[in-house]
Amino acid sequence: MLHYYFIKNAKRHAGKTAYKDKNLNKSFTYKKTLLVSLILKGRFKKYNDELIGLMLPNSFIFSIVFLSVLMCGKIPVIINYSMKAEENISAARETCKFNIIITSKTLLEKIKCPEVKNMVFIEDIIKEIKPREKLISFLISMFPSALIIKTCNGGKAGKSEAKYFNGNMNGSSSSNLDNNDNNDEDKDAVILFTTGSEKKPKAVKLSHKNIISNINDLKHLFNLSENDVMLSILPGFHIFGFTVNICLPFCIGMSSIIYANPMDFKTVVSIIKENSPSIMAVTPYLLAGYLKKSEAGDFQSLKYIVSGGDKCHEYIHSGFAVKHGKKIYEGYGATETSPVISVNTDKNYKYGSVGKPVPGIRVKIVHHETGSVLKTRETGKILVSGDTIMKGYFGDPASTQKCMLDGFYDTGDIGYIDEDGFLWHTGRLKRFVKIASEMVSLESVENALEKCISESVEFCVIGIENGIKGVKLVTAMSATVDETTVYKKAKEHLPNLCIPKEFIVVGELPRLFNGKVDFKKVEEIVYSLSR
């Protein structure tokens, strides 16, 4: 289980910095982190609910609260506070049927969210901790790791850990964790919500096995070790941030540099320059921001810059190569797959692809209508199977059954596998429209228009109903362009059928917390303005 690995590493690297929290300008050793987690465990185990809501920014506090909830045998439900926090709380409670939400007064003030029933504030919890609680937790923290694990809701060390990491995350055996098999790995580790860029977010149940399998794949693909340092800036409610920024470091025993606001581009660049992380895993939108605010040499310490969550555009790749001499390792994943499905690595790299499937994942491409398996370079739906696939959607067996096909998860994405085994993502099935009996990828149209529209103009392409004429392609833009020039250039890259005939200025494109365009909102704006 995830917290077992944390406990082992906290004992193994007691004096090592686990977290350098730039929000607080404080550092915390593994020893300190273990002690505080044990103190909070004693508090949280008093709650009757099995599910506990967490609404906290990325910080040292988030990590210790998450670990403490796991240590007392409960399941964290992580709530997205980036937009409409009060609505998200209500929706999460309606879906998952929990009461307690651990949050922060400072966060509520910042996001202007009102206090709701059964909120518990971490500031109050910390103030109420008594000397006796600290003493008991301190004594427990001095136990060997196997004994500490036994205090975690009757937990016991089992063979499940050795199955994935040969005894521990660093590949060496451990005498403390090689007895008694159990089924802990299949227990729920977390409930996270999908981004909801196209529809209502779903509550995804992920097991310890799901998360650990993905971390193990990443560890070996990138040759990660306890000597690496993670730049942790993505929020914990985002699966990419949760697995890669939060869980991976404490599972391997590395240090994390934490900052809660990834959109503060200038500050993040300064943090990288001054603190020398070796790994940064973020979204393309953030990379574009850091590229603009950085100078040559700022990212010298970074061995790996991993991009996920959306397509990484050519100007970002070339910008990092020219200004910083750095390669971007683009990957692909989903909340339901814990998240990484495929990723480019030093050993297997092909620009434009999303890499080869990670070792624990099997990918097949099927026809979007018939379901028949397609051949190399034939484009169809991307289906995946493996140990990282979710347990299901909480309280929604119908949706779970609908997306699982003969043991494979239907990603809802379209792509193909080439002759070298690289996966190419060509778009979401929901972002395909039928024009004159042809299936047109809106993402492919956008990729072509990138060659025709200035980098300074944000845009996306939307398909809207146009009466008996069917679907009309509309380009939503942040600023005006010379439409005649764009149309003329577009004819060099697209058939006439796929060239948008209408251009609408909508101002700054609405985005989700992870930088993805909020297509639902863009469509609403376009429908209201389209002629």
C-alpha 438/C-alpha 98 separation (Å) is 46
Q: Where are the alpha helices (DSSP H) in 77-181?
A: 85-96, 105-111, 122-128, 131-141, 145-150, 159-165
According to the model, what pLDDT value does residue 522 have? Answer: 92
Q: Is residue 312 part of a domain?
A: no
Q: Is residue 488 part of a domain?
A: yes
C-alpha 186/C-alpha 206 separation (Å) is 9
What dihedral angle (degrees, nearest 10) is formed by the CA atoms of 111, 23, 208, 346? 120
End-to-end CA distance of the chain: 56
Q: Is residue 187 part of a domain?
A: yes
Domain boundary among 240, 261, 282: 261
**How many angstroms separate the Cα of 188 from the Cα of each of 1, 47, 129, 204?**
10, 18, 28, 10
Which are the contacts of 459, defined by CB distance < 8 A and separation ≥ 6?
A: 446, 449, 453, 475, 476, 477, 478, 509
Q: Lay out the sheet containing 502-505: strands in order across.
A: 459-465, 471-477, 502-505
C-alpha 454/C-alpha 477 separation (Å) is 11
Q: Is residue 337 part of a domain?
A: no
Domain boundary among 261, 281, 311: 261
Q: Is residue 294 part of a domain?
A: no
Q: In terms of residue numbers, what domain contains 121?
A: 2-261
Q: Is residue 359 part of a domain?
A: no
Domain CATH code at residue 111: 3.40.50.12780
Phi, psi torsion values for 224, nearest 5 degrees: -80, 150
Place of tokens 């990670």: 358
According to the model, what pLDDT value does residue 435 have? Answer: 84
> Nearest Cα to 517, choosing from 465, 464, 458?
458
C-alpha 477/C-alpha 224 separation (Å) is 41
C-alpha 314/C-alpha 492 separation (Å) is 18
β-pair type (392-393, 356-357): unpaired
β-pair type (203-207, 188-193): antiparallel
> Nearest Cα to 78, choosing from 258, 245, 256, 280?
245
**DSSP type of residue 478:** S
Q: How many domains does the chain have?
A: 2
pTM for this prediction: 0.88
What dihedral angle (degrees, nearest 10) is formed by the CA atoms of 359, 365, 368, 373? -130
According to the model, what pLDDT value does residue 470 have? Answer: 74
Query: How many CA atoms lie within 13 Å of 170's alpha carbon, on the beta-carbon side?
Result: 17
According to the model, what pLDDT value does residue 529 have? Answer: 87
Q: What is the CA radius of gyration of the chain?
A: 24
Q: Is residue 350 part of a domain?
A: no
Are the CB atoms for 246 and 62 separated by under 8 Å?
yes
Q: Is residue 375 part of a domain?
A: no
**How many angstroms separate the Cα of 181 from the Cα of each of 163, 167, 446?**
10, 13, 51
Are the CB atoms for 234 and 268 separated by under 8 Å?
no
User: Exposure of 50 by Cβ count < 10 A (0-12 exposed, 13-18 middle, 19+ buried)?
Assistant: exposed
Are the CB atoms for 118 and 55 separated by under 8 Å?
no
pLDDT in tens, the chain (531 residues): 999 999 999 999 999 999 999 999 999 999 999 999 999 999 999 999 999 999 999 999 999 999 999 999 999 999 999 988 999 999 999 999 999 999 999 999 999 999 999 999 999 999 999 999 999 999 999 999 999 999 997 555 545 444 444 445 554 333 232 333 446 789 999 999 997 655 678 999 999 999 999 999 999 999 999 999 999 999 999 999 999 999 999 999 999 999 999 999 999 999 999 999 999 999 999 999 999 999 999 999 999 999 999 899 999 999 999 999 999 999 999 999 999 999 999 999 999 999 999 999 999 999 988 999 999 999 999 999 999 999 999 999 999 999 999 999 999 999 999 999 999 999 888 888 888 778 888 988 999 999 999 989 999 999 988 766 678 899 999 999 999 999 999 999 999 989 998 999 999 999 887 788 888 899 999 988 876
Are the CB atoms for 181 and 159 separated by under 8 Å?
yes
Q: What single string gives the DSSP state of each residue in 229-261?
A: EEEE-S-TTSHHIIIIIIIHHHHHT-EEEE-S-
According to the model, what pLDDT value does residue 183 have? Answer: 61
C-alpha 80/C-alpha 87 separation (Å) is 10
- Can you tell me whether residue 199 is helix, strand or coil? coil
What dihedral angle (degrees, nearest 10) is formed by the CA atoms of 280, 286, 288, 291? -50
**How many angstroms separate the Cα of 28 from the Cα of each of 15, 17, 20, 37, 258?**
9, 6, 6, 12, 11
Length of the chain: 531
User: Exposure of 530 by Cβ count < 10 A (0-12 exposed, 13-18 middle, 19+ buried)?
Assistant: middle
C-alpha 211/C-alpha 190 separation (Å) is 9
Domain boundary among 226, 261, 296: 261
Phi, psi torsion values for 439, nearest 5 degrees: -85, 115
Which are the contacts of 84, defined by CB distance < 8 A and separation ≥ 6?
A: none
Largest CA distance in the chain: 75
Domain CATH code at residue 483: 3.30.300.30
According to the model, what pLDDT value does residue 175 have? Answer: 28
Which are the contacts of 120, defined by CB distance < 8 A and separation ≥ 6?
A: 100, 101, 102, 103
